[in-house]
Every structure is written in structure tokens, then in C-alpha cells.
Structure 1
């Protein structure tokens, strides 16, 4: 078994260091920083803190070596999605990320994780892949995953017994994990008004409580949290209100002081590809 759901105990992850990361104007956050130079030393220190947070929590960390030909591979989440049977390789929208297809596929083979399918005709990035429970997957459709990609995901996952729900979003939100994130079995952080009514109805029917955030929180990574399991979550130090609300609901919050990496448009969830979750 590899990844059985989105909130069980996280045991192993795949990440990549931000040695060549730049604020390429490919999302709404990075556009604001496109004329600045990101401090590599600061980013590497932040990433070390990120990795140490995992290791201190008992999570094994695997790495894909950084490469100047794929500067955004620090956002390891995006190359695909992992379920208990193996992983699905995605299909990037942007040319600058194409090399990640090759290098992450090779690394997954080295780690012994089978590829159970691949999105080839449509678009699919892992920031849109959200495990809701052991048999239900939500798939965001904002800027980087489309209807054709969703259809291919359904063709791969539904024969394995998974329910796959498409979640249409505003293009500016980039990925589902920027505006919605499941942090515990029945608890999520979300910009509620940005979610489609049908999806919100499903959440209510299945007893998932939403901690609401304002729309501006999307672009400050207020929803981009990483569930560790056992009612524990990785968050950002700057997410004061969200973190307070999580603690009120019995969650343990591990805060990280990360700001420089965020300028490229991704947070802790974006930087994590789960390999084993039980």
C-alpha cells in the first residue's frame, strides 16, 4: 500500500530543493514578484526547516535532485497523484515544467512505486488532486487541470473503485490546494465562496466542517497546509487566524517560518508529494 487517503498517518514523502527557483510569472502570486531576485540561501534554509519538520514528525523524506532545467520542481506535488495502488503521472500545461515528467517518473521507479496510469491527452497537475477519504478523490479544475484530464483520471481510478469528483474553480486560484485543503478526516480549510455549490453540498452531506478564509488568503497560502495524520498539520507561521482555528478544533499545528519560497506561488502542500500514508 502507498497512499490510502489524505489524512492518515504520513510516513514517507518526496521533495526537491529550491536551488534554481525563480518567480516566473506563471501564477497570480509569482507575477507580483517577477521583477525581484529570490534569495537562494534563504530558500534553502527554509526548505531545510520544512524537511526537518517532517523528520521531527517521524516522516521519511526522499529527494529528487535539483536541476536548473526544471526550476519549479520544488513544487513536487504537481507531477501527479498517488493512491494505494501506485501513482498517476500528470501532464503539465507549461513547457518550463515538462522535464519534471521525465525526472519524477524516473525517481518514482527508483523508489519502487508503480505507475498505474498517465494523463496524456488532457491536462492534470497534482495540486488539483485531493484525497477526501479512502475511496473519494476531488479534482480541481482551475488553470492547470481540464475536463479532458479529469476524464482520463476517472478512466484510471473508477475501475479501482474510486469516486472522482470534478471541482471547477476560477482560473486565478491555480490549483484546488490553494483554496481548499482537507486537514483531518472531517475538517478542511477553504475559501468557501470560491467552491461550486455541488461540491459544498457533498462536503455537508459527508460531514466535513469548513474553516472559512477570505479570498485574499488564497494568495497568502492560507489554505496550503499539509496533513500529517493523527490530528496534526504543517502550516505557516504567518497563518495566525487559521492556526488558531485549527487548535480550537483539537489539531496540533507545526508552524514553519517560510516566506521566500512562497513568492514563486506554492506552500507546504505544493512542496510535498506523499509516497506512503497509512
Structure 2
């Protein structure tokens, strides 16, 4: 078994250092705001090390992709696909500056012995849009980087394994589903409720998933971009004070990361983490 769901104990992850992130072009609403501000490379590397240290402290094994100058955004390891119990889904990037990552991550997964069970070949699908709701129910954002063709390919590919996949359209400014919705524990999520479709909110209600609400502005401050470690533990940003206190009120142990520089490129802790083993 590889990844059982989105909130069981996290055992092993794949990450990538931000070695060449300085060269990335602004390709989302957050990074556009900082387009004229060069990224501080030493801060980027220190923040990445902070993430690795948090995983080491939590007993999570880390595998790393070796990057190169052709892969400026490869620090956001989440986006190349998704992983379930049986193996992984290889997505397909929409933005050309991320094309080289696909082959590199595919090769890495083969080296790690994780089988590719679905491949998106015609549409677009990025892992930031992939979210477990429970062990057999998956939400797939159709926002800015995943389209109908990509959704259909993932849905059809996972159907044979008994998964039910639901589309979640939202404002393209939100980029990925993990920017406006994230399951952090069994039956508990953080989300910008007003930005999600009624059909999805009804699905969450049927699955008895409680929502800790965030405001729309929090999306662009990575207020939803959290990483569940399982066992009621969550990696969050220190700046997410309101969300963090709400999580703690729900019995969640919040491990705060002081990451600010990496966020300027448009992604947070969830974006930087591809789960390999959970359960």
C-alpha cells in the first residue's frame, strides 16, 4: 500500500530543493505580486531545510528529486500527479516552464518502485488539484491547471480501483484546489466556503466533513495550504494565526513553519510535498 487517504499517518514523502526557483517566471496570482522582487536564494534554501527538519522531527522519511536549471518550479513537488494505495497518477502540466519536471518525476517514481497506474495524456491535471475526502472518495479541482479532459482521464483511470472522483470548479485566480480547500484530519477541513460550488459543499456535508472557514484573502496568503501529518498533526505557516488557533481548538497539534520567501513563488507546504506512503 502506498497512500491510503489524505489524513492517515504520513510515513514517506518526495520533495525537491528550490535550487533554481530564482529563475522562475511568475505564473500565478501570488507570484505576479512579487515579479519585480528577486527571491533570496539563501532564505529559500533555509526554508526548505526547515520543512525537512519538521519531517525528520515527525518521523517522516524524505526522498529528494535532484533538480536542474530546466526545472525552475520543481520545489512544488505536489503538482506532477497524485498517489493512491495502488500506485500513482502521472499528471500533465499546463505551463511550459514545468514540462521538464514531468519526465524527471516519472523517472524518480520508477526508481522508488512506485507503479504508475494512470497517466494523463490528452488533458491537463496537476496534483495541487488532487484531494482525498476519504479512502475511496477524491475531489479534483478544475480551476486553472486541470481541465475537463484531464479530469475525465483521472476519473476513468481510478474507477477500476473503486475510487469515486468529483469535479470542483472554482475561480481561476485560486490556481489549485489546495489553495482554497484542504482536508487536515478525518472529517475536518479548512476552506473558503464561498468560493466552492454548492454541489461540493453538499458532498462534504454528506461525508460529515466540518469546515473551518477562511476568508478569500487567506487563499493568497496560503491559509489553506497545510500538510496533514496524520494523528491530528498539521504543518502550517506561522503567519496563519487565525487558522492555526482554530485548528488547535479542534484538537489539532499545529507545527508552525516560518516560511515566507518560498510563498512568493506561489506555493506553500502542501505544494512542496508529494506523499509516497500514508496509512
Bin for the TM-score computed over the shorter chain: over 0.9
How many residues align? The count is 278
Q: Partner of 1:220: helix, strand, or coil? A: coil
Question: How many angstroms does 1:206 deviate by?
Answer: 1.1
- 5 Å-filtered alignment, 1:1-278, equals 1-22=1-22, 24-278=25-279
Distance, in Å, in 2 between the alignment partners of 1:187 and 1:68 is 39
Q: Partner of 1:199: helix, strand, or coil? A: helix
Question: How many angstroms does 1:35 deviate by?
Answer: 1.0
Question: How many angstroms does 1:66 deviate by?
Answer: 2.2
Question: How many angstroms does 1:65 deviate by?
Answer: 1.1
Distance, in Å, in 1 between the alignment partners of 2:142 and 2:46 is 33
Distance, in Å, in 1 between the alignment partners of 2:209 and 2:113 is 34
Question: Any unmatched runs of 5+ in structure 2?
Answer: none
Distance, in Å, in 2 between the alignment partners of 1:261 and 1:25 is 13
TM (norm. structure 2) is 0.99
Distance, in Å, in 1 between the alignment partners of 2:26 and 2:123 is 23
Question: How many angstroms does 1:144 deviate by?
Answer: 0.1
Question: Any unmatched runs of 5+ in structure 1?
Answer: none
Question: How many angstroms does 1:25 deviate by?
Answer: 1.7
Q: Partner of 2:220: helix, strand, or coil? A: helix
Q: Partner of 2:14: helix, strand, or coil? A: strand
RMSD: 0.6
Distance, in Å, in 2 between the alignment partners of 1:120 and 1:169 is 23
Distance, in Å, in 1 between the alignment partners of 2:66 and 2:40 is 19
Question: How many angstroms does 1:36 deviate by?
Answer: 1.2
Question: How many angstroms does 1:256 deviate by?
Answer: 0.5
Distance, in Å, in 2 between the alignment partners of 1:11 and 1:55 is 10
TM (norm. structure 1) is 0.99
Which contiguous aligned blocks of 4+ residues in structure 1 show a shift greater than 2 angstroms?
none
> Which string of whole-angstrom CA distances, capped at 9 and with x for unpartnered residues, describes residues 251-271 of structure 1?
000000000000000000000
> Which string of whole-angstrom CA distances, capped at 9 and with x for unpartnered residues, describes residues 175-223 of structure 1?
0000000000100000000000000011111110000010000000000
Question: How many angstroms does 1:117 deviate by?
Answer: 1.3
Distance, in Å, in 2 between the alignment partners of 1:255 and 1:105 is 31
Distance, in Å, in 1 between the alignment partners of 2:103 and 2:185 is 33
Question: How many angstroms does 1:67 deviate by?
Answer: 1.2
Distance, in Å, in 2 between the alignment partners of 1:86 and 1:204 is 29
Q: Partner of 1:109: helix, strand, or coil? A: helix
